[in-house]
DNA sequence: CGTGTTATTGAGTGCGGTCAACCTAGGTGG
DNA sequence: CCACCTAGGTTGACCGCACTCAATAACACG
């Protein structure tokens, strides 16, 4: 069902009663589809609503003057796109649909209302914002202080962990629909070097990636090779072991 | 007066009445000094209080396994260190005093209480968290898609803008007490290359940096050279011009 | 079956890293 | 007041990881 990942995501952040779950789902009256390669929201916009990904993959990105792009986050089902735009005046970056995405459009005042009436959801919002920030910090560490192999492997471990949280991993396999160019923009590498790096990881037997599917046969092995420690994801009540 | 930068910082985020200012200052009953090179709070801690920098410079950092360090943020007077630690269970990074710092230790429940009684301050907290996140995103863009000269120059423009906000810039001059090693850890470069980069910037007449003082004779010139656009700092009611 | 997009591989280059030496300022103790 | 010490800044020589440019292969989709 289309709200399943959204609820699972919220539950990884705060435990919810059935009433609270219903309140969360009630936010999603207005669901629209953004097709692949279109912006869900663009830089400079001043949205009066919040977007929640219900299905599909999206990415935050900024364009620099020479035309190159930097992806600063991947958004999965259940993720909030842009509380920024409502609390701050304007979006300082854009959000792109990597696949076709079902997106809930939630009026900002509805968010305000529900946070007043349901403190748990306020707390959930806080927590997921802070976790997003922690992920951002980790990306910064990877970009500045790790080589290409570890950076790429680390990112794939992270996607595995986050997809597992929302129930979208089966037996080490998960959808990973982005191009190598997009992986490059997310790691600060070029698509050419991402390709070589993936070849090395494949040759070491650590993973296979093709046709939009990632397979990690031995997650702890990859995690070890890439110094992946899921602590920064702040998984509630799960041992790190469980995620590896 | 020691609360001056703190209040100025809050006012750059939300406009406050005198009563609200007094409420904010009332948080700072317990002020302690953390000496240079000591952690204000360390990774793994589960603090029951929030730390606010009142004077001095601090830095968020993480250590990677090979021993190298990555600085993910600089904290100036008025900045909150660690709402993370209270909302999430534990700190996933540490905070270092770069100079001797006066730090307010605020019990977490006092924060919760004041956010309930003074919604403006809740909003101010939200906004400054989201601005911190925006700065983080910008650093990620710089690290992945800009050369050393622009990265370093951009960082110095940012520090100039943030110091100006809290009234600590005079005539293009400001204290910048960190070592080149620390600048390197913040930009993903080595101290050696930071040194060369600063030499280049100096030779181009864009800035001078020595003995803990940065001087930018022509801020718009440096901003242009480094593609610095302060939009991501979300300065309220100031033209970008005013900050350049 | 043709066309545009994405993946793959090779050859050559350059930015920033590494290693190492030396300089300078400021602090300390005799 | 000077001799010493140390942290930090400066510079040079060399190296290597990732980038660039370019050509080809493999898909995906009409």
Q: How far apart are CA B175 and CA B162, in angstroms?
A: 12
Q: Give the DSSP letter string of B66-105.
A: TS-EEEEEEE-TT-B--HHHHHSSS-SSEEEESS-EEEEE
> How far off is chain A from B221, nearest CA to CA, in Å?
16
- 3-state DSSP percent of chain A in helix, strand and coil, to 5: 45, 20, 35
Residues of B in contact with A123 (CB under 8 A): 87
Task: Verify if strand C has an atom below 7 Å from the CB of A195.
Answer: yes
Q: Do A88 and B127 touch (CB under 8 A)?
A: yes
What are the structure tokens assigned to B109, written together?
A: 């429940």
Q: Do residue B144 and residue A70 have CB atoms under 8 angstroms apart?
A: yes
Q: CB distance B144–A89 less than 8 Å? A: no
Residues B196, B230, A92, CA angle at the centre, nearest 5°? 115
* A145 has a pLDDT exceeding 70: yes
Query: What are the structure tokens assigned to A157, written together?
Result: 């471990």
Alpha carbon B39 to chain centroid, angstroms? 16
Q: What is the pLDDT of residues B114-166, one digit of tens each?
A: 888 888 888 899 999 999 999 999 999 999 999 999 999 999 999 999 999 99
Q: Do B129 and A129 touch (CB under 8 A)?
A: yes
* CA→C1' distance for A148 and D17 (Å): 9
Q: Taking all residues of chain A, what is their mean pLDDT, rounded to a whole number?
A: 93
User: Does the pLDDT value for residue B43 go beyond 80?
Assistant: yes
pTM, entire model = 0.94
B134 contact residues in A (CB cutoff 8 A):
84, 88, 92
Query: Average pLDDT, stretch A141-156?
Result: 97
Q: Does A60 touch chain B (CB under 8 A)?
A: yes
Q: What is the mean pLDDT of chain B?
A: 93
Cβ B175 to strand D below 7 Å: no
CA distances from A2 to A77, A98, A104, A136, A162 (A): 9, 18, 11, 27, 18
Residue A239, pLDDT above cutoff 60 = no
Please compute the mean of the pLDDT values over residues A168-188 and round it to a whole number. Answer: 96
Residue A64 contacts B where some CB pair is shorter than 8 Å: yes
Beta strands at A213-215 and A208-210: parallel, antiparallel or unpaired = antiparallel
């Amino acid at each position: 069902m289309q709200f399943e990942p959204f609820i699972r995501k919220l539950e990884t952040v705060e435990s919810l009663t059935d009433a609270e779950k219903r309140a969360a789902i009630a936010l999603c009256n207005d669901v629209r589809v953004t097709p692949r390669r279109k912006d869900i929201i663009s830089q400079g916009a001043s949205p009066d609503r919040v977007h929640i990904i219900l299905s599909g993959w999206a990415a935050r990105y900024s364009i620099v003057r020479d035309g190159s792009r930097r992806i600063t986050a991947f958004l999965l089902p259940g993720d909030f796109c842009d509380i920024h735009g409502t609390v701050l005046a304007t979006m300082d970056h854009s959000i792109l649909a990597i696949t076709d995405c079902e997106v809930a459009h939630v009026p900002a005042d509805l968010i305000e209302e529900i946070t007043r009436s349901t403190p748990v959801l306020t707390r959930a919002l806080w927590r997921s914002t802070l976790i997003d920030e922690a992920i951002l910090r980790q990306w910064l560490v990877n970009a500045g202080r790790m080589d290409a192999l570890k950076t790429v492997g680390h990112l794939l471990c992270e996607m595995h962990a986050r997809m597992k949280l929302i129930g979208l991993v089966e037996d080490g396999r998960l959808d990973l629909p982005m191009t190598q160019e997009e992986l490059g923009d997310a790691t600060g590498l070029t698509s050419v070097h991402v390709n070589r790096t993936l070849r090395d990881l494949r040759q070491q037997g650590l993973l296979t990636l093709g046709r939009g599917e990632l397979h990690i046969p031995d997650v702890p092995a990859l995690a070890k090779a890439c110094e992946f420690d899921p602590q920064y994801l702040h998984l509630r009540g799960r041992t790190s072991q469980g995620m590896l």
